[in-house]
Structure 1
C-alpha cells in the first residue's frame, strides 16, 4: 500500500546501480516484499532504506500489524487477495490447474502470478524500479526452481540451497532462462535488469514463492 511517505524517490540514494548488482551477486538474498532480512554471508547490509524513509516505514509497519496481526497476513490478504478462510485450509496436495505448466515460464498465465511494485523500496538510484513477481500459492504449486532447467544436478541442488540471481545482459542463464525470458517479455528486450530468487526455506513469507527484479530506466 502506497502512502505519501512510501516512495523511496523522495529520499537520497545510498548506492549506485553498480553497487546494487554487486550486492545481488554477493550471495543469497533474504528479502520480502516489505522488509529486508540480512544474510551474514553477503553484503546485504548495504541494501537498505534511507534512515528517514526507514523511520516512516517503521511507523507504517506498526499500524499494519495492529490492524492485520502481521505483515504476512496483510500481504496475502490485502495486497494479493490470496488468503483462504481459516475454515478452509489449503488442500494437500493442491488441486491441479488445467493445462498448468511444469514450472514457471515466460508464458505463465496471469491468474497464476502477480507482479507488484515494492511499496516501500530501498535507497536505489531514482531511475531504478523494484518489482516483485509472486507465484499464486492456492490451487497451484508451479516451482520457480526446477531440475529440468539446469544442465547439471549440481547446479540444481545449489539453487535449492542458495537461490539464484541473474542479469539481463548476461548469458549465464543456467536455471534462470525462463525467469529472464519472462522479465524480457514483461519489460522489453532492451531492459537492463537484475533479479534474484530465494529457495522456499529461506523466504520469510513462506506461503508465496517470489523473485525480485530491479529495472534500470
Structure 2
C-alpha cells in the first residue's frame, strides 16, 4: 500500500450550492468540505479518480490525510463520505482538521484475529457474532492507530468480549468507556452454531463403526 493514498490535491471551491456540486460531479470531480480547529470551514474540490482509488483501502478512513489545498497542506480525517445510490461514485466528503497537540475523536476498524484458530469455533461448533465493526476512540494525532485488534484465540463458547476487555494501544482510549461502566458495550460473542461440532461428528463416526463391527 502506497503512502500516496494518504495525500490528496484539492482546490478551493467558491461556486457553492446543489447546482454547482452537480456540475462538478459531471466533470468527474468530488465536492468536499474541511472543517474543525480554529479556522473557518473551507469548501474544496477533489479529483474523483484519486478519491476512488484511495477509498478502496481501509486505512484511508482511519489515517491522518494530507490535503494539498492550493499549495497549503492541511491534515485531516474523513468524517463522512456520501456515495451515489447505485453508481460507483463518491458524491461528497466531509473532512475534519487534525491539529497537532489536540486530541481527536474518530472511529477505527476492528480486526478480529485468530478467529479460525479458536478451538471454540474450529472444534466446538461455535460462531463469532460481531456486535461492532469499529470502535470510537480518542487520542493524540501521533497515537492514532489504523485499526484495533481483538484476539479470539482463547475465547470460549458463550463468552462475550466487551470494550473493557480490548487491549487499546498506548495513548488510545475508548470514547464509550469514558462515559462510565454502563457503556461497556459488547464487541463480539461466540455462540453455539447449529449442527454437531467436529468432536461430536468424530464420536458419531466412531459409534457407527462399532455398531457395524457388532452386526458383522
Q: TM-score range by the shorter chain?
A: under 0.3
Query: Relative contact order (alpha carbons < 8 A, sep ≥ 6): 1 or 2 greater?
Result: 1
* Larger gyration radius, structure 1 or structure 2: 2
Structure-2-length-normalised TM-score = 0.24
Higher strand share: 2
TM-score, structure 1 normalization: 0.24
